[in-house]
Each structure stands twice: as structure tokens, then as C-alpha cells.
Structure 1
Amino acid sequence: MQKLLQSLSEADFQVIRATEPRQMADLDEDDLLELHARVRRARNKHVGKYRRAGAVKVGTKGSRAAAKEANDRNAIRAEVFEDALSRVSRQLAQVARRSAVELKAERLARAQQTPAPSSPTPRERGKVRASRAPRTDDTRDNPGRKKREAGTKAAGARRQVKRDRRS
């Protein structure tokens, strides 16, 4: 395993190293999401390389079993990134759960600080008093609205004529 880690490119090695528990311990949720995306991209890259190389080697080796043996290094690399992705996913889930609990506690605390609306007294129940005169629709006289309504009415009339012609 150590030999494989040393054979990784510097960028890939940095990604793997960033997934160690000590490195992830002080990351917040946003940083973990970013790391998760980086690891997932790297994992997808290595899985793709493994599959493409395996497909090519089946033709040259003559069988899938022989091609798999010749492609072990790529398979192990893909597995290393799969493990790294699972570590980041677990850490992200823990941080997200903790964050959700904190947010829920904040919401509950805020809800307890504001008084609940009082229930109406028996005398007030059932009657709603208007605080001002009812609003009237002032938009009916708008020329744009009149034009649009006329167009809608005409379109309806055209559809009806079309239907009547069919029967």
C-alpha cells in the first residue's frame, strides 16, 4: 500500500493525504463538501482508467482473467480512492448531522423566545371586523388588460368555430 501511495502523482497523493482523519478533523461542512468533490473526481478518473485499460487488455491478452491480472495496479489505485471517498463521506455525514442538530436547537430557541399568538376570547370568536373599506379592482379599466381579454375572447371564438366546422 505504501509503495502504491508513493507511486501516485503529487496531486493524487495530496488528495489522499487530505482524507486522513487528522487532516479532516478541523474542516467545516463547506470544506468537506469541496474535498468530497475533489476525491470523487479523482476516484472517477482512476476507475475510468482502470476500465478503459481493462477493455484494451482483454483484446491483447485474450481473456478477461488475464487482462484483470495485468490491470491490478489500476484496480488498486481505484480502490484507494474509493476508500478515501468513503472516509470523507462518513466525516461529512457526521458534520452535517451535528450542524442539523445545532440549527434545530437554534430554531427551537428562537421559537420559544417569541410568544405564541393568544387564542381569541369567546366574545371575539366568529366575527371578523374589517379594519378598512374593501379594496376594489382598479386594474379592470387598464387598456392593456382590455386588449388581452379581447384577444382571449376572440381566440375562444375561433376555437369554437373550428369545432363547429368539424361536426
Structure 2
Amino acid sequence: MEDLLGILKDDERDLIREVEPERMEHLDEDELLALHKRVRRARTKHTKNYRRRAAAGVSAEGARGAARPRHGKAAQRAEVFEEALSRVSQRLAVVSQEAYETLKAERLERAQAGKSSGPQGPDGPPPGGADTGRVAGHSTSPGAKKTRASSQAAGARRQAARDAK
């Protein structure tokens, strides 16, 4: 990959250097996500540029295979960023799995200690009363009865119209 760095611009080379394992080792999950986004954008840009130029050359050359060799550097740039994206993705997967395992262990520890962070949270019920997560039952207020009757009547009218056809 070192030999391919000569075809990249300075800022692109800097981005590729950020993907080195020694440098990625010190990044947390959020920083890795930002790096992943930047590398993915660069990969998409170079892949798109390569495909556009190659597609334009197909009509002149008469075949895709014949048009490919003329755009070798563009294809190599796209490949460099594809490999870089793969490296960042792998590192991000490792860091995300570690974060998941840590969070899972913390939650299990809290649950075993009886301090579950369920719907009410670790500090007790939320302000404004306890939220059980359940939907309120049917109301028997006059307004609710009217709404329910109206809905049933509308359904009956729709059914009657279908039956009349």
C-alpha cells in the first residue's frame, strides 16, 4: 500500500495515515465513527469518479474491458480507500463489541444489585408520576363514547357502501 500512496494528494495521504493500526488504537468509538465517515466519503468519491470516467470511455473504446486500462490510477485510488475503509470498519467493530460487553456487564451488575434502570430509571420514578409503559384503558367518558360510536357508524357506512355495489 505504501507504493500506492504516491498517487494520492497530501490530504488524502494524511487520511490514509490516520488508518494505520497504531493510530487507530488510541481512538474511542465516536472518533472511529468520524474517521469511518471521512474514509467512506473519500472511497465513494474516488469510486464514483472512476466509474464515471470508465463509463464515458466505454462508448469510445466499444467495451468495458477495453476502457478499464485507461483509468488505472483512478481505480487504484478507489482500491486504496476501499482497503482503508475495511480497516476502519474492523477496528470499529472491535471497539463497539468491547463497549457492548462493558455496558452489558454494568447492566447485569445493576440488575443483580436490585438497582435496575428499567422504565423508572435508577433514581426512582420520573418527575410527573410513575410511567409504567402501559397504554391507558378505554375511557368511559361521554366524549370517548361519542368518538367510539362515530367510528363504528363510519365503519358501518363503508361496509354498507361496499355491499351495495
| Structure 2 unpaired stretches of 5+ | 116-136
Number of aligned positions between the proteins? 144
Partner of 1:50: 50
CA–CA distance in structure 2, aligned partners of residues 161 and 64 of structure 1: 62
The TM-score with structure 2 as length reference comes to 0.73
Give 1:1-167 correspondences, 5 Å limit.
2=2, 4-114=4-114, 139-142=139-142, 144-159=143-158, 161-162=160-161, 165-166=164-165
The TM-score with structure 1 as length reference comes to: 0.72
Q: Please report how far the alpha carbon of residue 33 of structure 1 lies from its aligned counterpart in structure 2 after TM superposition.
A: 1.2
Shift of 1:113: 1.8
Query: Which has the larger Rg?
Result: 1
Per the alignment, in what secondary structure is the counterpart of residue 16 of structure 2?
helix
1:68 deviation in Å?
1.5
Structure 1 141/53 Cα, relative in aligned 2: closer, same or farther at 3 Å? closer
**Between the two proteins, what is the percent identity of the paired residues?**
50
AA at the equivalent of 2:154: A
Q: Distance in 1 between matches of 2:138 and 2:155?
A: 25
**Cα-Cα RMSD:** 2.6
- Code of the residue aligned with 2:12 in structure 1: it is D
State the alpha-carbon separation in 2 of the partners of residues 13 and 70 from structure 1.
23
Give the Cα separation in 2 of the matches to 1:23 and 1:12: 16
- 1:33-61, CA deviations, whole angstroms, 9 ceiling, x for partnerless residues? 11111111111111111111111222233
